[in-house]
Amino acid sequence: MSNRMLLVLLAMCLATLYTAPPRAGSGQSSGCSDRDLAAEIKPGSLVYADANELAKTLVAGGFVVKCMLHSTMQGMFEGMSGDALYRTDRGDFVALFMPKPKNFESLEIIEKLEKSRYIYSFRGDPKPRGENRSVDSSRPEYFIKHANQLLILWGDSQLAESLRKVLGSS
């Protein structure tokens, strides 16, 4: 095979890698069970474009995205366009999405430690929905605001730092 043909083949492979959504069955290492995959975010889902865009950013930053799933946090804030649970080679996290150009920049996250429990409440915009006014956790949670996304991680400071670096967030 000539060098030119090898370059064309390599370019086609790279184009596929950067345009195809990360999926357990697409050559990525699978860390998702059959039960997980029943909740897989598929083309046609309202959150698919946003979830896939974030996945591409993660892959470009060195993450392996094993799968993207619907989470149980849909509707946590008024006006959300969707949510996604990411399973990666570095750990799991949830991303909440607002429809562009809306974002989470005006959302204030308040942390209180009460009897070895972490209690988080929210103030500002977007407003939390009814029963979602506070979150009670046994471990600290990390919140990362990026563009129209709010990433939420449970007790994993290393993953939070890695995501901040990839996303350029503070």
- SS3 sequence of 28-82: CCCCCCHHHHCCECCCCCCCHHHHHHHHHHHHHCCCCEEEEECCCCCCCECCCCE
pLDDT reading at 25 higher than 90: no
| Number of compact structural domains in the chain | 1
- Mean pLDDT score, 98-115: 94
Which own/partner pairs from 137-141 qualify as long-range (CB within 8 Å, at least 24 positions apart)? 140/111
- Mean pLDDT score, 132-136: 79
Asked if 77 and 127 count as a contact pair (C-beta separation under 8 A), the reply is yes
pLDDT reading at 20 higher than 60: no
- Of the candidates 96, 147, 155, 99, which has an alpha carbon nearest to the alpha carbon of residue 122? 96
Percent of the residues in the chain that have a pLDDT greater than 90, as a whole number = 61
Predicted pLDDT at 98 = 95
pLDDT reading at 144 higher than 90: yes
- Mean pLDDT score, 116-133: 88
Q: Pick the more confident residue, 84 or 34.
A: 84
Predicted pLDDT at 83 = 94
Q: pTM of the entire structure? A: 0.79
Asked if 163 and 153 count as a contact pair (C-beta separation under 8 A), the reply is yes
The residue written with tokens 């006006």 in the block is: 79
Predicted pLDDT at 30 = 55
Mean residue pLDDT of the chain comes to 81
Predicted pLDDT at 91 = 94
Residue ranges making up the domain that contains 58? 3-167
